[in-house]
């Protein structure tokens, strides 16, 4: 069987792209790789890409110079986790509080990791998870 190397992209769907972009730009501090009226692509530590799409704007194929991107979309309160170092968890907690972002939950994991849970402006559940220590091997 061929090998998979990693997850390259994760997509979230938002109702107001400008509002979401302000959150991911200023509060999460992610650099923009690409932006247009339908989506934003963010660099996550040079290791992965977070895509934000306007909800409902990707339900038709997109024709690009390189080919066709099939339709996709998502609804509801989607979830994703950002990996952080253990020593960065408390500074993140303070940073989120300073920006009036409510922490909805915390978890301690059997492997020694910890997680903070909060929401973006569209209700997507974001997690800051210390690594290693959440999953076996991660």
Instruction: Tell me if 63 is assigned to some domain.
Output: no
Instruction: Tell me if 64 is assigned to some domain.
Output: no
For residue 47, the domain's CATH number is 3.10.180.10
Instruction: Tell me if 101 is assigned to some domain.
Output: yes
Instruction: Tell me if 15 is assigned to some domain.
Output: yes
How many domains is the chain partitioned into structurally? 1
Instruction: Tell me if 51 is assigned to some domain.
Output: yes
Per-position pLDDT tens, the chain of length 138: 878 788 999 999 999 999 999 999 999 999 999 999 999 999 999 999 999 999 999 999 999 899 999 999 999 999 999 999 999 999 999 999 999 999 999 999 999 999 999 999 999 999 999 999 999 888
In terms of residue numbers, what domain contains 107? 9-56+78-130
Instruction: Tell me if 4 is assigned to some domain.
Output: no
Instruction: Tell me if 67 is assigned to some domain.
Output: no
Q: Are 58 and 105 in contact (CB under 8 A)?
A: no
Instruction: Tell me if 50 is assigned to some domain.
Output: yes
CA distance 62 to 79: 25
């Amino acid at each position: 069987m061929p090998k998979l190397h990693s997850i390259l992209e994760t997509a979230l769907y938002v109702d107001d792209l400008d509002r979401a972009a302000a959150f991911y730009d200023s509060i999460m501090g992610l650099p923009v790789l690409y932006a247009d009226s339908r989506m934003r692509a963010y660099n996550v530590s040079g290791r992965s890409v977070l895509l934000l799409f306007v909800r409902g704007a990707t339900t038709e194929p997109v024709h690009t110079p390189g080919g066709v991107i099939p339709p996709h979309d998502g609804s509801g309160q989607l979830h994703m986790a950002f990996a952080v170092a253990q020593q960065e968890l408390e500074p993140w907690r303070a940073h989120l509080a300073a920006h009036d972002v409510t922490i909805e939950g915390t978890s301690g994991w059997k492997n020694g990791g910890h997680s903070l849970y909060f929401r973006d402006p569209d209700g997507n559940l974001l997690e800051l998870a210390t690594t290693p220590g959440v999953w076996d091997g991660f």
